[in-house]
Amino acid sequence: MILDGKCPTGPIEKTWDKHRFDLKLVNPANKRKYNIIVVGTGLAGGAAAASLGELGYNVQAFCYQDSPRRAHSIAAQGGINAAKAYPNDGDSIYRLFYDTIKGGDFRAREADVWRLAQVSNNIIDQCVAQGVPFARDYAGYLDNRSFGGAQVSRTFFARGQTGQQLLLGAYSALSRQIKAGTVKMFSRREMLDLVVVDGVAKGITCRNLITGELESYAADAVCLCTGGYVNVFYLSTNAMGCSVTANWKAYKKGAYFANPCYTQIHPTCIPQAGDYQSKLTLMSESLRNDGRCWVPKNKADLAKHPDEIPEEARDYYLERKYPSFGNLAPRDIASRAAKEQCDDGRGVGPGGRGVYLDFSTAIKRVGADTIKERYGNLFEMYEKITDENGYKRPMRMYPAPHYSMGGLWVDYNLMSNIPGLFVLGEANFSVHGANRLGASALMQGLADGYFVIPYTIGGYLAGIKPGVVTTANPEFKSSVDDVKGYSKKLLSINGKKTVSEFMRELGGLMWENCGMARTEKSLKANLKKIPALREEFWKNVKVSGANGEFNQDLENAGRTADFLEFGELMCRDALHRNESCGGHFREEYQDQGEAQRDDANFCYVGAWEFKGENKEPELFKEPLKFDNVHLAVRSYK
């Protein structure tokens, strides 16, 4: 089947404005009759719940954390892009659009990306009005920095905590609506099922994480803003609670999962120190503005202190390979380059998995104080974790799973193939193609939440009658029964291995065979090993505690069970995509180390439909058309 993204046609500059005008509206007096569920309160969810509440809809918002302010958007450090062109350096909406399409290796929809670039400017204005303390210059104007994959300075930032400040901005808007009574907040709730009535999304089933009780919530539309799935690698920069569960439950209720193989491996993370490690910590890409990546040219120098290695014996591999972008090459490229050096046996630090990120040149140029002002909190964080001083010796970095470009398939209105189910932010697949540029995730989350969904959801709701389905509908009861049965089964196995042991094992398989580089062989191996591991899980996992109580082990068990299914789909998608593009690098398809796209055969979005337990999912394709940019080999040389 050919999927249709329902993108507006005509001149790209006019698409969003025209579409907005064409969308039906809900009368202000009728808005309060519509209930909307928003799952997740990160940038996308928080912004959506606040904006929809303000419009007058009845919003119910859910998050698994104890407060909506804790979603993992908070950990984004570097910044947020916008085409303001304040520095007068040639930026424009068109250039942001172009950079994003190119950065995504031509695997995203033009119309969606155009809209993102267009509303990016509104986001900055919105956040400033909320009181987000963006960096300012001495005249009081907004300051910019440059970021990977762009040759203009378009990134707005709040020290090294931009994600935190933007999220707190959205959280404050949300808090205002909670106070106003338009949004009802349910924290410490985990969505464990999507309720679909007659093919239309009408509610969710949640576990109250405090009491363990299962709760049903009905609505006229459901928005999933539940983030990404790179915790499938076990070790990633995501928060411990990030999971594929909400998306996976929607997938199993019929929503298509698009491009799951597109995962972003962030080039600058603190290398793993041991097997016990629970997560990896990212260091902002902005560090590459002033830090230079290098490894020793000679293996003999590996044991030496970096200061003892003279300049001529260092290989500044990014500057060598990509002279025009240098250390600011996009993430996928920088990550692979780091892996290449380590595979070549020239990696530094424990296990030889690390490259140096060296600030000595920048410190000489602008002084340690300036570097401290720019990145002080990052240096502090690095020292806390590694016990090394980044000012005095180069930091050690290694790529780590960070972001998922893939996600549930949505049309231009952000609605999935299930009517009434909308997917926002990282949880959908829409704008980043096969690779996301730095400082674009924050932009997408807020664009979807503040400036897209408030319009597009109206277009859907205007066409349906409000409040037709309530929790009295038998679908809700049967969903609760299913979830209850599932938890009971998990608790009853009482095997020998813990949940984290399984998750670690799955993560290892995914990282080895479906990580930064994939081959047909490695993926096929995983397609055998993952089902076997899953089978073992359901026979031999040990989950402690009981159902009707606060039980973190049970929470983790459910998330792991979903990852064990999802990992297989991810490998299947990676196997079918016989090309290399962006974050998906198939070793068979390369040209001297550079990814080799196959536009003739794979210029499409691959969306998978669930066909039943242990049955092969079916692939649908949405062809990608490029009318405004030319498909070209992506070069940063």
Minimum CB separation from another protein for residue 297, in Å? 19
**In b/e form, how buried is each residue of 520-555, taking b as 16+ CB within 10 angstroms?**
eebbebbbebbeebbeebeeebebeeeeeeebeebb
Of residues 11-50, those binding another protein (CB under 8 A):
47, 50
Of residues 534-573, those binding another protein (CB under 8 A):
542, 544-545, 549-550, 552-553
Residue 512 C-beta-side C-alpha neighbours within 13 Å: 13
Q: Does 92 bind another protein (CB under 8 A)?
A: no
8 A C-beta contact, residue 327 and residue 292 = yes
Minimum CB separation from another protein for residue 77, in Å? 9
Tokens of 236: 């990633």
Of residues 399-428, those binding another protein (CB under 8 A):
none
Part in contact with another protein (CB under 8 A); list of ranges 221-229, 259-267, 450-458, 573-581? 450-458
Minimum CB separation from another protein for residue 480, in Å? 22
Taking the least distance from each CB to another protein, the nearer of 68 and 390 is: 68
Q: Residue 47 — φ and ψ, nearest 5°?
A: -65, -40
Q: How many CB atoms lie within 10 A of CB 251?
A: 25
Q: Does 366 bind another protein (CB under 8 A)?
A: no
Part in contact with another protein (CB under 8 A); list of ranges 122-130, 408-416, 522-530, 577-585? 122-130
Identified binder of another protein from the candidate list 31, 70, 288, 559, rule CB under 8 A: 70
Minimum CB separation from another protein for residue 444, in Å? 16
Run of H or E residues at 336: helix 331-341
Q: Does 54 bind another protein (CB under 8 A)?
A: yes
Minimum CB separation from another protein for residue 307, in Å? 13
Of residues 568-607, those binding another protein (CB under 8 A):
none
Minimum CB separation from another protein for residue 130, in Å? 6
Minimum CB separation from another protein for residue 482, in Å? 26
Run of H or E residues at 561: helix 552-576
Tokens of 1: 């089947």
Q: Does 84 bind another protein (CB under 8 A)?
A: yes
Tokens of 337: 């380059």
Run of H or E residues at 121: helix 110-130
Of residues 618-637, those binding another protein (CB under 8 A):
none
Q: Does 173 bind another protein (CB under 8 A)?
A: yes
Minimum CB separation from another protein for residue 326, in Å? 27
* Burial zone of 377 (CB within 10 Å; 0-12 exposed, 13-18 middle, 19+ buried): middle
Q: Does 528 bind another protein (CB under 8 A)?
A: no
Residue 572 C-beta-side C-alpha neighbours within 13 Å: 20
Residue 331 annotated among the catalytic residues of the structure:
yes
Residue 275's identity, in one-letter code, is D
Of residues 468-527, those binding another protein (CB under 8 A):
496, 498-501
Taking the least distance from each CB to another protein, the nearer of 136 and 528 is: 136
Minimum CB separation from another protein for residue 142, in Å? 5
8 A C-beta contact, residue 276 and residue 295 = no
Site string for another protein, 272-311 (x = CB under 8 A): -xx-xxxx-xx--------------------x--------
Taking the least distance from each CB to another protein, the nearer of 11 and 181 is: 181
Q: Does 78 bind another protein (CB under 8 A)?
A: no
| Alpha carbon distance 92, 278 (integer Å) | 41
| Alpha carbon distance 155, 150 (integer Å) | 10
Tokens of 247: 């998306």
**DSSP, res 136:** B
Taking the least distance from each CB to another protein, the nearer of 420 and 454 is: 454
Q: Does 187 bind another protein (CB under 8 A)?
A: yes
Taking the least distance from each CB to another protein, the nearer of 108 and 132 is: 132
**DSSP, res 437:** P
Identified binder of another protein from the candidate list 6, 14, 24, 136, rule CB under 8 A: 136
8 A C-beta contact, residue 80 and residue 46 = no
Tokens of 447: 């664009």
Dump the DSSP string for 597-615.
Answer: --HHHH-EEEEEE--STTS
Instruction: Using CB under 8 A, count the residues that bind another protein.
Output: 89
Identified binder of another protein from the candidate list 39, 44, 57, 69, rule CB under 8 A: 69
Residue 366's identity, in one-letter code, is V
Part in contact with another protein (CB under 8 A); list of ranges 21-29, 378-386, 560-568, 607-615? 378-386
Part in contact with another protein (CB under 8 A); list of ranges 237-245, 398-406, 613-621, 627-635? 237-245
* Burial zone of 419 (CB within 10 Å; 0-12 exposed, 13-18 middle, 19+ buried): middle
- Conformation bin of residue 414: beta by default, left when phi > 0, alpha when psi is -120 to 50: left
Minimum CB separation from another protein for residue 498, in Å? 5
Identified binder of another protein from the candidate list 60, 144, 161, 435, rule CB under 8 A: 161
Q: Does 385 bind another protein (CB under 8 A)?
A: yes
Q: Does 350 bind another protein (CB under 8 A)?
A: yes
Longest dimension (CA), the chain: 75
Angle value at C-alpha 457, between 469 and 182, nearest 5 degrees: 70
Catalytic residue chosen out of the listed positions 207, 314, 331, 586 = 331
Active site (catalytic) residues: 331
